[in-house]
Structure 1
């Protein structure tokens, strides 16, 4: 079967693509830019953008020769041109209507388990589900609970791994008694494969959940044990403090920490009493328990690095941004006499030295602010690295005495090179 998968390179989408490929289906990845992901070198890709492709005519050419469609595109929060209304509703509706027009009847929608009151992420997904249900298609809506993978993580699952890996302490909202029913991403992929193999099972809403209900506390301790970290004290974080952190994350951050995730965890994220039975009877699927999934795949040192670095890397990024901003402010506040005092034997005039100091200070300020805002961070980090190299070579060759500065002087640039290289190497989100 030739299957078009939107959002194919996302955390859930990639596992769906892998499952379909393993089952012998021909997968066409519909992604921004139409690039072929190096993880799937043998697959074809076409360009699409759910934020812009909101007309039926946008999708008709892409559906030629397609037997089924899986829509796994989604955003956890709105940003730039990505809006919930477009990405979760208008774009998918155009796709679904194009399927209806061309006769591509099998459509599988990856939605989300939760209540509309949890936030616009859930609400917009459910509105899209309701619209799909009105169309003359063999649709199926899959609503997964908390999705994890032992082989990697992204977004909220990375956040929870990071919490599980904190040194000596386990921070829990309240007492950590919120309930979750986690399901492996690989099992989500198998659910899609099973759905395509059962075309008669259609026009249903299916809750994708694991076989057991866990408290958030038990879920985090399971991951902590798998990562190989020792016992930890639990520390209850008051609800009001969790809500403040979620509000700040919603407004200032770009990661998973936000009000939607906070509400979902506060209310719990579990399926109905018959969810597991429906999965077995309708799709022949028995998802693995978290303990079984963890036991089947032992952790590696890279897993521990990633979990421990989850909170360390943002702190490192912020500290570098503040250092660059502080350097810029110092360059602007320094007087002409102070600038000349740094390089008293300079061949440049004091006026030219002051101009040079102001220009480099401005560059430092701009780069520091851009890094703090995460604007094209790979480019910003590369420019920082080049500036640092320029400072070090220029001053080190022109005024070599600064290498012997008793306070470290140019020698302090060496660890900064290493820090910038680490930030560049870990900048990828997926």
Structure 2
């Protein structure tokens, strides 16, 4: 049997591919150190799941890490879709890869590199994402080390994130269909199981050559066919749908770009739409011939089991998540703005009518209005969203309790403003429950 790599350094251990591969390799008996900038609490399943700013490491730090842990293979699953706060495609794809290659050479020991890239050719690269991914491929090809570049097609996995989550959400949505030009784009999928099996095969078949493999099912399909297959999965394939015009997707992508500046990672952004329109194609024959792996078909990937209630809830709620957060942000900011600038006299009059000291009316009115607007701003930013939601719940409970003690008649006023605060609290609890992405 060919020599077997025993110790693996996996970079990007919290991502869709990285998380699955790390756990799969451990089940196969490999020692895996998986590094990510941040893990969700549910993702840290091993003491070898390490949180570290890996893309900020210097060449010397990377070399020392590999030497100290006696690494035989590096699996690089790092990637970011689009430039934004804390995300730089050039820094992650090209600059880090250059340092990683230099660090591997500096170890003076044979270390294999497996690098996750994207399908296609440089002729069709139009985005910073695809161009920098291709730059990394060229650096690896010229490095002169044992390396394999894997180019997965559209990845279908038990988990859903980004584009895979969006496809499921579109399939579960009973009223809308993709624009015809997008639905007809070639879209060859690959099962996560096949990616993991390939990396396990590479761990057992060490080579000093450079290889590039497309990982996907051989049969060509379209994006529309993938969505249709998920519709069969969810039981929504008989619904009548309205085909969306392309400009709505472009508008949604622009809005997604704006939301990304607040720290969120929406699946619909200009880069994502551009990559979807480019399509996902490749030639998996060299991969299949070398490894003997028979890739699963689309039907086998999706319909190996029936949809569970967890699948249905996630798909149905995925597109509602941004609606919920936007509505809460607007609820707090607009309500504070109205009380402070449009209906200040009416808001202050409520306090005066309930015998509040005249000197306290203005400070309370202004203070609560600013607090409401600040709550909305906190919810709007991803890093502070949980704080804003918790504060919003506490503030709402405070308003309700304060009114019950100081102004109980407000509970029976005609429009029922305080009564409606209860459902707002429930919505904020729902938002808190949906906050996680991984």
Give the TM-score, by structure 1 length: 0.92
Q: Deviations over 1:243-301 (max 9, x none)?
A: 343344334443121222222222221113xx2x2222212222211211223222111
Q: Could you tell me which of 247, 254, 257 is aligned with 1:250?
A: 257
Q: Map of 1:337-376 to 2, 5 A cutoff?
A: 337-344=345-352, 346-376=354-384
Q: Counterpart in 2 of 1:416?
A: 424
| Residues 1:407 and 2:411 are matched in the alignment | no
Q: Counterpart in 2 of 1:112?
A: 118
**In structure 2, do the counterparts of structure 1 residues 179 and 420 end up closer, same or farther at CA, with 3 Å as the change threshold?**
same
Preserved CA contact (<8 Å) 1:29 1:43: no
Q: Counterpart in 1 of 2:45?
A: 41
Q: Counterpart in 1 of 2:173?
A: 166
Distance in 1 separating the partners of 2:61 and 2:180: 44
Q: Counterpart in 1 of 2:243?
A: 236
Preserved CA contact (<8 Å) 1:164 1:220: yes
How big is the alpha-carbon RMSD for the aligned residues of Structure 1 and Structure 2?
2.1
Say which SS state the counterpart of residue 179 (structure 2) adopts. Answer: strand
Q: Could you tell me which of 182, 187, 198 is aligned with 2:189?
A: 182
Give the TM-score, by structure 2 length: 0.90
Q: Counterpart in 1 of 2:3?
A: none
Q: Could you tell me which of 5, 10, 25 is aligned with 2:15?
A: 10
> How far has the Cα of 1:118 moved from its partner?
3.4
Q: Could you tell me which of 217, 222, 228 is aligned with 2:229?
A: 222
Higher alpha-carbon deviation: 314-323 or 260-269: 260-269
Post-superposition, which runs of at least 4 consecutive aligned residues in structure 1 deviate over 4 A?
334-337
Higher alpha-carbon deviation: 416-425 or 396-405: 396-405
Distance in 2 separating the partners of 1:335 and 1:311: 34
Q: Map of 1:33-72 to 2, 5 A cutoff?
A: 38-53=42-57, 55-63=58-66, 64=68, 65-72=70-77
Q: Deviations over 1:152-193 (max 9, x none)?
A: 200011111111111233233436211100111222111111
Say which SS state the counterpart of residue 179 (structure 1) adopts. Answer: coil
Preserved CA contact (<8 Å) 2:151 2:213: yes
Distance in 2 separating the partners of 1:94 and 1:110: 16
Preserved CA contact (<8 Å) 1:66 1:104: no
Preserved CA contact (<8 Å) 2:176 2:244: no
> How far has the Cα of 1:359 moved from its partner?
1.1
Which ranges of structure 2 fall in alignment gaps of 5 or more residues? 1-5
Higher alpha-carbon deviation: 133-142 or 334-343: 334-343
> How far has the Cα of 1:334 moved from its partner?
5.5
Q: What number of residue pairs does the alignment pair up?
A: 424
